Amino acid sequence: MIVDLPDTTVSKISRALVSVREEGGAVALGRVLTLIILTREGALEEVIEAANDASREHPMRVIVLMIDRPDADTRLDAQIRVGGDAGASEVVTLRVAGEAGDSNLESLVTGLLLPDAPVVVWWPNRTPANPSKTSIGKIAQRRITDAATKSDPSEFVAGLGSTYAPGDTDLAWTRLTRWREQLAAILDQPPYEPVTGVSVRGAADSPSTALLAAWLRLTLDVPVDWSYLDPEEWPHGIKSVTLTRASGEVVLSRPNSNVAILTQPGQPSHDLAFPRRTLRECLAEELRRLDPDVLYGRVITEGWELLDPPAGDGIRATKA
pLDDT at 316: 41
Flag whether 156 is in a domain: no
Q: Do residue 9 and residue 137 come from a single domain? A: yes
Q: Do residue 223 and residue 305 come from a single domain? A: yes
Is 237:202 a contact under the CB 8 Å cutoff?
Answer: yes
Q: Do residue 136 and residue 189 come from a single domain? A: no
Which residues face 5 on adjacent strands? Answer: 78
Flag whether 28 is in a domain: yes
Per-residue b/e over 128-163, b at no fewer than 16 CB within 10 Å?
A: eeebbebebbeebbbbbbbbbbbeebbbbbbbbbeb
pLDDT at 318: 41
Q: Do residue 118 and residue 191 come from a single domain? A: no
Flag whether 155 is in a domain: no
Q: Do residue 6 and residue 139 come from a single domain? A: yes
Determine the 3-state secondary structure of 100 from DSSP: helix
Flag whether 277 is in a domain: yes
Q: Do residue 212 and residue 73 come from a single domain? A: no
> Mean pLDDT across the stretch 105-126?
93
Q: Do residue 178 and residue 139 come from a single domain? A: no
Flag whether 151 is in a domain: no
| Domain's final residue, options 111, 145, 179 | 145
Flag whether 158 is in a domain: no
Checking if the pLDDT of 317 tops 50, the result is no
Domain residues for the domain of 193 are: 171-310+316-320
pLDDT tens figures, 244-276: 999 999 999 999 989 999 999 999 999 999 999
Q: Do residue 303 and residue 189 come from a single domain? A: yes
Distance separating alpha carbons of residues 218 and 311, to the nearest angstrom: 18
Q: Specify the range with the lowest mean pLDDT, choosing from 166-170, 231-235, 293-297.
A: 231-235
Q: Do residue 200 and residue 320 come from a single domain? A: yes
| Domain's final residue, options 90, 111, 145 | 145
Between 28 and 293, the higher pLDDT residue: 293
Q: Do residue 178 and residue 320 come from a single domain? A: yes
Flag whether 150 is in a domain: no
Flag whether 91 is in a domain: yes
pLDDT tens figures, 273-295: 999 999 999 999 999 999 999 99
Structural domain count, the chain: 2
Q: Do residue 190 and residue 320 come from a single domain? A: yes
pLDDT at 311: 84
Q: Do residue 175 and residue 320 come from a single domain? A: yes
Checking if the pLDDT of 181 tops 90, the result is yes
> Mean pLDDT across the stretch 95-114?
81
